[in-house]
Amino acid sequence: MYIAITRQHLGDNYHGSASDFVKYLEKENEGKAPEAQELFFNQTENDIDAQRVIAEIDANTTKLSKRDPKFYSIMVSPSQAELKHIGNNPEKLKQYTRELMKTYAASFYRDKEVTVNEVLYFAKLERERTYSEKDKKVKENQAYASKILELQHQIRAIKEGREQGDIAKLQEKIQVLETEAPHKQNGKRIVPGMTKEGHQSHIHIIVSRKDVTNSHSLSPGSKFRTSETTLNGEKVKQGFDRDKFYRAAENSFDKQFGYRRNFVETYHARNLLDKNPKQFFAALLGLPSNEKQAANQLLFKAGIKVPSIPTNKAQLAYKAMMQLKKGIGKAMESGSIGI
């Protein structure tokens, strides 16, 4: 499970309104008949249209300055294994989102516990993902893409009479490069913008910075997990515990759907890898044989070039350990092994 919380963009591409972000979330609905479109939902309702989302988020900004984010976005991206476990069922993803938002509310540090009924949010299911320039497969194909582009420019110059050359030979070279490119999908070289195959369902959530009464701030972007400040002579609790939220989000999915999570899929493992890689690999070595084998398979599917998990600590030389840490860390960041 990969979850990311992002504040509203306040640069040239996004203004104070939520309209730009909502428009972005409507991209999969383009060209579809109204009955085939995916609408928004919240804790209690389905089939909410985009205009209502914009109107309610934009109206809920009392006492926020022009430079304050008016909303946050939460992206919830289950791993392939998690999606397979629930049959890529959109209704189950919506059910999970509603449970997730309960844990989101409970992660705020306040004098009185915050409940999901106080959170103004709207969520939307998306079924597709496309490759971007940041994807590992695109990066590893880039050298071939650059050579192909250069050859295509040569062919164009020959056709326009600016250069001389054998177009057929250049086309043959392009075909060889297309064949040699390391990453393909359905026989075609993977490029930015190509739709990813397999289950790609994920959830986008837009959540207001203010509570439903438009009177209290609920910012997950707080620098503190738990903090107290003095306001009008009284001590006030503030903060948002992201660590608590991420752990609870993972546990909620496992409990809700009976998912048995491997060690390398856990949020705990990611933290351990970041803070104490030696302890991470020691824990990996201490797994029962069947779980260790499953971990190895997950790492392999994530594209980590490890022939096998070392069978003893002596095999974990420092250099090798740090290379593994780098590879596993990237896989965890991308959500490819479900962290």
Task: Give CA 309 to chain center in angstroms.
Answer: 27
Q: Mean of the pLDDT values across residues 256-271?
A: 90
CA angle 227, 274, 281 (to 5 degrees): 135
> To the nearest whole number, what is the mean pLDDT of the chain?
86
Q: Mean of the pLDDT values across residues 10-35?
A: 83
Spatial separation of the C-alpha atoms in residues 118 and 103, rounded to whole Å: 13
Q: Mean of the pLDDT values across residues 163-181?
A: 95
Least confident of 122-131, 293-302, 322-331: 322-331
More confident: 226 or 46: 46
Q: What share of the chain is helix, strand, coil (3-state, %, to 5)?
A: 45, 15, 40
Spatial separation of the C-alpha atoms in residues 122 and 220, rounded to whole Å: 16
Give the domain ranges of the chain.
2-129+196-257, 136-189, 263-334
Name the strand (E) or helix (H) holding 5: strand 2-7
List, in order, residues 6 or more apart from 156 with CB less than 8 Å away: none
Q: In sequence order, what DSSP letters do the residues of 269-314 get, joined into one string?
A: HHHHHHH-HHHHHHHHHTS-HHHHHHHHHHHHHTT---SS--SSGG
* CATH architecture of residue range(s) 2-129+196-257: 2-Layer Sandwich (3.30)
Residue 326: CB atoms within 10 Å: 12
CA angle 213, 216, 218 (to 5 degrees): 110
Q: In sequence order, what DSSP letters do the residues of 84-125 get, joined into one string?
A: HHTTT-HHHHHHHHHHHHHHHHHTB--SS---GGGEEEEEEE
Question: Whose CA is closest to 238, among 95, 118, 109?
Answer: 109
